[in-house]
């Protein structure tokens, strides 16, 4: 993930301006567990507020820094302490977390549906899945 891409700059501006409690993104095109810390979305969008990151990417295909697809959920402030039981799909199609309070459970989920691609395009998310 390029730290100064247009998508990253707009994301930083949005999160800062609206003081978001949660930020969700799809198609980050990164395999987060092998990226350098400086290129992690959690580092790029870090502020003085508590931050929890839940990511999902294709863990079955070859490991490369750039990978098509993936889902990311960033929780800020009190949402970091309320969230429990995070889950991520090994193909990068979705991730979620739950919030439990007063015998009520709420699940916050981000999902990615890849567009159908031609059979000869081997490296698309659609072909991977």
Confidence label for 6 from pLDDT (cuts 50, 70 and 90): confident
Verdict on whether the full-model pTM lies above 0.95: no
Confidence label for 19 from pLDDT (cuts 50, 70 and 90): confident
- Whether 93 and 111 have beta carbons less than 8 Å apart is answered as yes
With a CB cutoff of 8 Å and minimum separation 6, the contacts of 34 are: 63, 65
Is the pLDDT reported for residue 63 higher than 80?
Answer: no
Residue-range definition of the domain harbouring residue 89: 6-128
Is the pLDDT reported for residue 31 higher than 80?
Answer: no
Residue 99 lies in a domain: yes
Side-chain-facing half-sphere of 37: CA atoms under 13 Å: 1
Residue 108 lies in a domain: yes
Using the structure block, give the residue that is written with the tokens 């003081």: 19
Residue 1 lies in a domain: no
Q: What DSSP character marks residue 117?
A: -
pLDDT score recorded for residue 43? 73
d(CA 40, CA 32): 7
Task: Provide mean pLDDT across the span 78-91.
Answer: 86
Number of domains in the chain: 1
Residue 62 lies in a domain: yes
């Amino acid at each position: 993930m390029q730290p100064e891409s247009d998508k990253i700059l707009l994301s930083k501006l949005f999160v800062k301006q609206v003081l978001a409690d949660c930020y969700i993104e799809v198609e980050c095109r990164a395999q987060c567990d092998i990226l350098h810390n400086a290129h992690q979305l959690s580092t790029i969008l870090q502020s003085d507020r508590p931050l929890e990151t839940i990511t999902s990417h294709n863990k079955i295909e070859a490991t490369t820094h750039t990978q098509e697809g993936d889902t990311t959920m960033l929780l800020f402030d009190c949402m970091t302490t309320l969230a429990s039981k995070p889950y991520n799909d090994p193909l990068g199609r979705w991730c979620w977390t739950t919030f439990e309070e007063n015998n009520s459970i709420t699940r916050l989920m981000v999902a990615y549906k890849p567009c159908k691609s031609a059979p000869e395009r081997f490296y698309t998310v659609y072909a991977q899945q």
